[in-house]
Structure formats: structure tokens, C-alpha cells
Structure 1
């Protein structure tokens, strides 16, 4: 294993040196994949030194550098177009997903404050230590449970003051009426809007990555969709035309026989 580690690290170092001589430092570090290669080599050198000098191998921080050897697997991503496209999509989607997550956190905070004002002063959630709106912490946790749909129906049943079976609920009180507006609006904005925004961001970045890798030749997804719809319409019209020609030919044959 030590010999293989030395061999592969030597190959990586030679590859990096050749690229540096051919491209120069500025052009080399402009490519993110070259930055990854440089990082892998830097974190692999201390482990190699620890194998050569056994005294250094006893330090605890050497174990951390050994863990970073797993990053060598990412070099395989750069060799496959499909994996590289997915990886680039993931990296390029992080800033937009962070913005959506920040907006989602703000929305959950606003609803948590509203829930504290609506349900915190009632006895609906008494006896529920982990599902209540008594403070901002448990309110956020309760809303996160509703957002992930993890037993969210039981939370709504408690808010509507339903019985243990969830069949009989008090729908006439003011708190229940507010709960009927509070939870559906929260589910609509978070589960259906925010999650779809994340999906839209990922799809948009995937299309851009696929175009840059040559996997998608159209200018954008709308053009591809138009092409598919046009092709389906053309196939349908062609099928109808062929059927009409067959019917005419069959009618001519019957007329000749008569």
C-alpha cells in the first residue's frame, strides 16, 4: 500500500509540474480542477513524509491528512463527462441554493413568530414537549417537522384540537380558523414553492453544464421542449396522412373490383 501511495503521488506530482510548465501559474490555477489536483497533492505530501519518517507518523494530525486521500476519487470525475456535468451542476448550484435556503429560513422564522403569538397563549400544545410554539426554538423545530412532512398531520390535528383518533375536531373556535389559514399557507410557500425553486435552480445549472460539456446541443431547455413538441405533432400528422392515403388506396381498389 505504501509503494502504491508513493507511485500514484509521484504521477500526480509529475502531471502537476508538466501542467505548470506548459500553462504557467496564472492559467494553471484558473482552472478549478487544477486547484483540486494541487490540493490533493499538498495534503498527500505530509502523509508520505510520515511514512518515510516514522517519528512524524505518531502525531495525531497525520490521521487528518490520511482522510484527505479520499479526495483522489474526485480526479475520476474530471475524466467522465456525465459525472463532471453532475459535479459542476452541484458546485454551481450552491450559491443559488444558499439564497433559497436563506429565504426559507427567514420565512420559517416569520411563521414561527406568528405561531408563538397564535398558539403560544393557548393550551392546544400542552403536554407536547417537542411539538409546541412556546418559544422560538421549538417553534422552528415544529415548523421544520411540518415542512419535511414528518408527521405533520399530527401537528395540524393538535392545532385543530382534534381527538386522539383525529376524527372529531373543534373547527368553530378562532384558533382553529387561524390554524386553517396558517398551516396550508406555510405548506404552500415552503414545500411547494421553495422546494420547486431549488429544483428549478438545479435544472437550470444542469442545462448550462450539459451545454458546456457538449451533451446538450440546443441553446436552452425551451428550445429542446419546442423541438420535442414539434416532432410529436409532425409524427402525429404524418401518421394521419399515411392512414388517409391507405384509405384512399383501399377505396380505389374496391372501386376497380366493382
Structure 2
């Protein structure tokens, strides 16, 4: 009964979920370093240690470590062990231990195992990444070019957005996502004051509209289209195979009708 409890994937996943909730709870300001929550968290860590020991004893070393998921779980639990020190000794700086505790949240990845057609999804994802790489590179080069141009013209008037090439590249990427892009030309117009002619302000706004169109509307849309098309290619192939089979059956049926 004891061994079966720890060998049950459902029980382990339930413990992982509850532990994740406890860790999340501990990050609310009023519950940081809460004694009872710390104890519950340590209980779950001990639970995972016992789980690993039971599985190693039942499956054997080769059987246990032969599974990639078990290796993943073992090293996550092993990395969390130092957080138990807080129960026995006073640790002056617990920030590193808190980071090690967060590693246990990574075990939630185990739920991926239960995703239907996971292999097909991962294959589609890899195929989509390969197909999108040139589009993404084109977007990177476009971002780089526009970042340098924007840095040249607007570094003085809007240093928060275009003060240096890296900040400028981030601002251009933000515009590619069409997230709050209109705030940037508004800030530039406000900082420029009345010294700049309306014509130049209009050209500035036109430039940023062009940036959004090139990178945000056309560029990102193209990248999304290529990515989604490659992801769904397996489904298209299945449909094509079914259509081909159906056409062959129709042709065979026609031949039978002709012979009669």
C-alpha cells in the first residue's frame, strides 16, 4: 500500500500541484517566511524525497534513472534539499534557498506527458520553428536597422526610448507588438515642444506608423502565418491522404459500374 501510493502518478501529480499552490501562497507579503507554510513546504520536499527513494528501490537504479522524467525529478528534488537547512540552522541569506525552492515548480512540466498527441505537437513545433527562422531573422535585422535609425534621430528628444541602440531595439520591438506604440510619438512630440515644425512632427508620426506597419502588421503577421501553417501541416497531410483514398475508391466504384 505504501509503495503503491508513491508509485501512483496521480498521487505524485496531486502533491506537485498542492506544493505549487503552497509556494505561490508563500510569496504573498503577509505570508512570507510564515512558519506553518514553511513546515508544509518542507513536508512536501520530504514527500518527494521518499517518492524518489521508493521508486529507486522498486525499479532499481537502472530502471529508475533509465527514465528521463525520473532523472528530471531526481535532480529537481536534489537541488531543493538545501532549503531544508532553514529548519535546523539559521541561514542569514535565504534568497538562494528560495530560488532552489522555486525549482520544484518546474515539476509541473510533468503534465505535458498527458497532452494528447504530444509527439505530433512537438514535431509540428520543431517544423514550425525551422520554417520561421528566416522570417524571424528578417524581423531581427529590420529591428536592428530601425533601432539605429531611431537612435540617431530621437536619442536626444526621447532618451528613455532611444537613448542607446539596445534601448532603441527594445522600443522598436515594443512597436512591432503594437502594444502602446502611439505613446512613443506622443512623448517625442511633447518633448520637442514648439521648436519643431508641424511638418517634421507629421513626418515623425508617419515614420512610426511605417515602423508599425512593416514590423507589427506585415512582419509579425507573416511570422505567425508561417508558424501556424507549419504547425497544422500534419492535419493537412492527413486530410490529403483521406481525400486521395476517397478519390481512389470513387474511381474503383466507377470502374465497377462500367463493367456492369
Higher relative contact order (CA 8 A, sep 6+): 2
Bigger Rg, which one? 1
TM-score computed with the length of structure 1 as normaliser: 0.50
Q: Give the structure with the larger helix fraction.
A: 2
TM-score computed with the length of structure 2 as normaliser: 0.49
